[in-house]
Amino acid sequence: MRIIYLATKDLKQILQQKKSALFLLIMPLLFTWLMGIIFNQNENHDPRLPVGLVVLDDGVLGPHLRTLLNDSDTIRPLTPDQTDTAFIEEQVHSRLLAAVVVVPNGFSAMALDGTMPQLEVIVDRNTPAGQAADRSIQLASTRLLGAVQVARLSAAAAGHSESDAAWQAFVLSALDEAIQAWLNPRAKVVVRPAGIAASAPKGGTQASSGMMVFFATVGMITPGYILLSERHSRTLARMMTTSMTRAEVIAGHVLAMFIVCLVQVVLLTIFGQFIIGVHYWHAPGLTLLMASALAFWSASFGLLISSLARDENQVVLLVLGSTLVFGLLGGTFFPLELTNQSFATIGHMMPSAWAVDGLQDIVLRGSGLISILPTVGILLFYSTAACGAAILLLRRSLKN
């Protein structure tokens, strides 16, 4: 019971501090909103690699190829301003275009006659963008020529010979259907975790979860002050002259920090749900579990900072300094998926990366309890380590 009284006293003091509203609510809401706007603006931009498409052929396959290229997740076809080779090569060299596909004159006629014509592809295969574009162009080209082959075989199966007047009409019609089949396959394997948040804006999800994790630790500035002032005013030492145990005293302070952070995270998830449109509360149990793990990590972090700091300036410096490191490396400002493997690996040494992952797993990937538990376990590990270090420092502080 005394743990609760101690936590209640801390909460009362935290709420009396003017800085609390700023660090715990105003700044997180403002930054989530701003980051949401920035990320959503980027979402309107087509992120696919630009690929030039030069059609020198006047047959039917040029438009079909454009359709298939446009269907790619990786590349988007553009028509270059000029079609001369030097200009096109310069565009690729200067990386304004990831590649250029040239459909040579007579390409459609040759394909429909049953010969296998070649597309001309100008690409720098030494670059990752060039390699990705090349693969997507090869895929579209294979699908196009496959569709031509299917159309020709269908015509033969229907009893038409190439000399028939109806053959060409049949082949063109079958070609249309084959192309449509590629665009809208009846059976499709989607390699994407089922999640309801497919409809949620990805930018909003990153901004909301990232800022939530970022400000969960920034919010420890005020609780950090409270414990620091207890050390300085010797009220902490005085508490140790009552029959409360050291564990009870630490638990009381951690509980207050935990409650502050949990309330903050819950408010931010409500803001995320209703203002940003991120569906945190489709799985309330899991969201609460992740919020609790995040709050426990933040409380332990706050305890560690207030045990380390010698004055109020050091609390601010240590909280903001370490939170920036956690934030920049741990993917609270940008998704670690956009970074290379080494950066992502280093990033995942930060507890913040796991917290963001956990929240996004629930929202974006619809993960269940079993999938979330390892993330929760890792956050608990970090929390326990921080708590342990803080207890050692506090013991030393009480002896002085």
Q: Residues in the site for other proteins, rule: CB under 8 A?
A: 2, 5-6, 9, 12-13, 16, 233-235, 237-245, 398-399
Q: Measured from the CB of residue 399, what is the shortest distance to other proteins in angstroms?
A: 6
Q: Measured from the CB of residue 222, what is the shortest distance to other proteins in angstroms?
A: 12
**DSSP notation for 231-275:** HHTTHHHHHTTSS--HHHHHHHHHHHHHHHHHHHHHHHHHHIIII
Query: Which of residues 229 and 339 has its CB atom nearest to other proteins in the complex?
Result: 229
Cβ-based burial of 118 (10 A; exposed 0-12, middle 13-18, buried ≥19): exposed
Closest CA to 293 of 174, 396, 373, 205: 373
Q: Measured from the CB of residue 23, what is the shortest distance to other proteins in angstroms?
A: 17
Query: Which of residues 95 and 238 has its CB atom nearest to other proteins in the complex?
Result: 238
Q: Three-state SS for 80?
A: coil
CA angle 325, 330, 335 (to 5 degrees): 130
Q: Measured from the CB of residue 292, what is the shortest distance to other proteins in angstroms?
A: 26
Query: Which of residues 244 and 373 has its CB atom nearest to other proteins in the complex?
Result: 244
Residue with tokens 């009284």: 5
Query: Which of residues 168 and 245 has its CB atom nearest to other proteins in the complex?
Result: 245
CA–CA distance, 20 with 14 (Å, rounded to integer): 6
CA–CA distance, 124 with 133 (Å, rounded to integer): 10
Query: Which of residues 16 and 41 has its CB atom nearest to other proteins in the complex?
Result: 16
Encoding tokens for residue 201? 């804006």
Phi, psi angle pair for 209, to nearest 5°: -70, -40
Q: Measured from the CB of residue 234, what is the shortest distance to other proteins in angstroms?
A: 4
Q: Measured from the CB of residue 366, what is the shortest distance to other proteins in angstroms?
A: 46
Q: What length does the chain have?
A: 400
**Side chain identity at residue 187, one-letter code:** A
Q: For residue 214, how many other CB atoms are within 10 A of its CB? A: 26
Q: Measured from the CB of residue 298, what is the shortest distance to other proteins in angstroms?
A: 23
Query: Which of residues 95 and 234 has its CB atom nearest to other proteins in the complex?
Result: 234
Q: Measured from the CB of residue 307, what is the shortest distance to other proteins in angstroms?
A: 17
Query: Which of residues 42 and 233 has its CB atom nearest to other proteins in the complex?
Result: 233
Query: Which of residues 112 and 260 has its CB atom nearest to other proteins in the complex?
Result: 260
CA–CA distance, 138 with 251 (Å, rounded to integer): 62
